């Protein structure tokens, strides 16, 4: 197992609900995904949705975010990417993601100089962070598959926010490495050769998959990369912002308790620590910082 290095770097992570995470080493400030608006279910299902700018402002304030170097978008579904362009605009950040995510940003009017469309396997450097956009799969069911081929203006149907291809985000830093998997699926072998001290993995829709699939997912995303800490993300009810304690996804959406039990059982077997991230609170992530 690769030993983490640079034990003194103050790397912290703040869970913002769904798959949104604020990551900083005190110098460089990164956001994975960007989702603060919580359009109600009926609007998502039958109406049109758009970024809720006051909710974005409140969310950024609550998380203590005023400036960002980059917003890194895992895929262009609304519960990941809806607010990323406005967050990038307010925080003077680069928005990096697939061509579909770039088209969301263009539709919102983010200047082209703040947009970076990346291809699977591409790596960007922000301060001491190296961020690699590794190819990834999307969980089933995928209710909005395909590409966003033109700038997408809002309001728009939730189904117009097509995934545009998924990335596993790999963060490498002198303090250690971690990965963020924002959708509960895997491409077998996609992480060959990748090492990470911690894995932050989506549980959304995993409660509906067979136990064998869940175990294979944990093994691919955390086991084979050598993670010693695994943090569930996207396990909370994304129809509302997380409170002090995140509410789990409602039972009609997913059986999150079953997915959490599987994760605990797998982790106990493998000697991996399961760490639940408190919403809105920066916490050290890497095993040596615990």
CB 88 within 8 A of CB 94: yes
Per CB under 5 A, the segment of 74-82, 121-129, 190-198, 205-213 that binds Zn ion is: 74-82
Where on the phi/psi map is residue 218: left (φ > 0), alpha (ψ -120 to 50), or beta?
alpha
Residue 77 engages Zn ion in binding (rule: CB under 5 A): yes
Least separation in angstroms between CB 286 and Zn ion: 27
Least separation in angstroms between CB 138 and Zn ion: 6
| Tokens matching residue 55 | 């909710």
Nearer CB in complex with Zn ion: 29/162:
162
Which strands form 198-202's sheet, in the order they lie side by side?
A: 123-126, 129-136, 166-173, 176-181, 198-202, 229-233, 273-274
Total number of residues binding Zn ion (CB under 5 A)?
Answer: 1
Per CB under 5 A, the segment of 1-9, 69-77, 104-112, 238-246 that binds Zn ion is: 69-77
Tell me the residue nearest to Zn ion as measured from the CB. 77
b/e per residue, 228-257, with b = 16+ CB within 10 A? bbbbbbbbbbbeebbeeebebbeeebbbbe
Least separation in angstroms between CB 204 and Zn ion: 8
Residue 173 engages Zn ion in binding (rule: CB under 5 A): no
Pairing of strands 29-32, 70-72: parallel
Residue 234 engages Zn ion in binding (rule: CB under 5 A): no
Nearer CB in complex with Zn ion: 76/177:
76
Nearer CB in complex with Zn ion: 101/199:
101
Per CB under 5 A, the segment of 71-79, 115-123, 234-242, 250-258 that binds Zn ion is: 71-79
Least separation in angstroms between CB 181 and Zn ion: 11
Nearer CB in complex with Zn ion: 56/82:
82
Nearer CB in complex with Zn ion: 77/106:
77
Least separation in angstroms between CB 271 and Zn ion: 31
b/e per residue, 179-205, with b = 16+ CB within 10 A? bbbbbbbbeeeebeebbbbbbbbbbbb
Chain center to CA of 130 = 16
Least separation in angstroms between CB 202 and Zn ion: 8
CB 166 within 8 A of CB 277: no
Least separation in angstroms between CB 205 and Zn ion: 9
Nearer CB in complex with Zn ion: 161/266:
161
Nearer CB in complex with Zn ion: 29/77:
77
**Binding region for Zn ion (CB under 5 A):** 77
């Amino acid at each position: 197992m690769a030993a983490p290095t640079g034990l003194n770097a103050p790397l912290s992570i703040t869970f913002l609900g769904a798959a949104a995470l604020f990551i900083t080493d005190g110098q460089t400030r990164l956001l994975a995904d960007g989702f603060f608006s919580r359009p109600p279910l009926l609007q998502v299902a039958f109406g049109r949705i758009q970024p809720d700018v006051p909710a974005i402002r409140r969310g950024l304030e609550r998380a203590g975010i005023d400036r960002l170097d980059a917003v890194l978008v895992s895929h262009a579904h609304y519960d990941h990417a809806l607010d990323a362009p406005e967050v990038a605009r307010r925080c003077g950040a680069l928005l990096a993601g697939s061509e579909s995510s770039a088209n969301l940003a263009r539709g919102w009017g983010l200047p082209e100089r703040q947009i970076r469309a990346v291809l699977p396997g591409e790596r960007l450097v922000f301060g001491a962070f190296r961020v690699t956009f590794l190819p990834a799969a999307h969980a089933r069911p995928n209710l909005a598959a395909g590409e966003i081929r033109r700038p997408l203006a809002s309001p728009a149907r939730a189904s117009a926010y097509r995934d545009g291809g998924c990335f596993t985000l790999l963060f490498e830093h002198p303090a250690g490495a971690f990965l963020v998997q924002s959708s509960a699926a895997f491409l077998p072998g996609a992480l060959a050769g990748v090492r990470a001290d911690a894995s932050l993995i989506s549980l959304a829709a995993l409660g509906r998959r067979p136990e064998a699939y869940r175990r294979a997912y944990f093994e691919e995303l955390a086991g084979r990369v050598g993670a010693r800490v695994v943090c569930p993300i996207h396990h909370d009810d994304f129809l509302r912002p997380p409170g002090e304690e995140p509410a789990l996804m409602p039972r009609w959406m997913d059986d999150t308790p079953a997915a959490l039990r599987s994760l605990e059982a797998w982790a106990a077997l493998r000697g991996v620590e399961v760490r639940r991230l408190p919403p809105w609170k920066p916490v050290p992530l890497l095993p040596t910082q615990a």
